[in-house]
Amino acid sequence: MEGRIVSINISDRKGVRKRPVDEVVLKAGYGIEGDAHASSQWHRQVSLLALESIKKMQEMGLDVSPGDFAENITTEGIDLLKLPVGTKLTIGDSIEVEVTQIGKTCHSRCAIYYQAGDCVMPKEGIFVKVLKGGKVRVGDLIKVLSS
């Protein structure tokens, strides 16, 4: 299974929509340098959400784009929900990540939820930890190594 990165998104604080950037550095055991969610203290270092999930919300009439769901990496062409915890992926030429969580509990309803009555990130977003870091760019390929 293979997909590509359509957007990379970061923020300097938690609980807000993320802004798109062209490239970032993923740091092993930490996450994205400069992103509020990066931490060596937990397993949700980087979040991924499929563009296909965002399009579902757009079809409901919402004006949303990549980063609006606070995901770090927006993907296309890979079914993230079919990747069980423990799946290893490569990003670009040499970066390796491992799926650590599928979905999440939303403790506080976000602006998207109030606009649509639903939000895709808690059900369709996934989280990974960075095993081998490097520079990530929009357009990089994501490949499933093992599950």
* Bigger pLDDT: 21 vs 120: 21
Which residue ranges form the domains of the chain, and what is each CATH number?
2-146 (2.40.33.20)
Q: Give the model's confidence band at 117: pLDDT under 50 very low, under 70 low, under 90 confident, else very high.
A: low
What is the predicted pLDDT for the residue at 110? Answer: 56
**Three-state secondary-structure class, residue 10:** strand
* Bigger pLDDT: 54 vs 137: 137
Which residues, including other chains, have CB under 8 Å from residue 52's CB and lie 6 or more apart? 76
pLDDT at residue 109 is higher than 80? no
What is the predicted pLDDT for the residue at 114? Answer: 53
Rg (CA), the chain: 14
Whole-model pTM?
0.88
* Bigger pLDDT: 111 vs 45: 45
**Three-state secondary-structure class, residue 63:** coil
Q: Average pLDDT of the chain?
A: 87
Mean pLDDT of all residues in 134-143: 97
* Ranges 24-28, 78-82, 111-115, most confident: 24-28
DSSP label at residue 81 = G
Closest by CA to 54, choosing from 41, 63, 45, 46, is: 63
User: pLDDT for 30-86, tens place per residue?
Assistant: 999 999 889 888 888 999 999 999 898 888 887 888 988 888 999 999 999 899 999
* Bigger pLDDT: 135 vs 124: 135
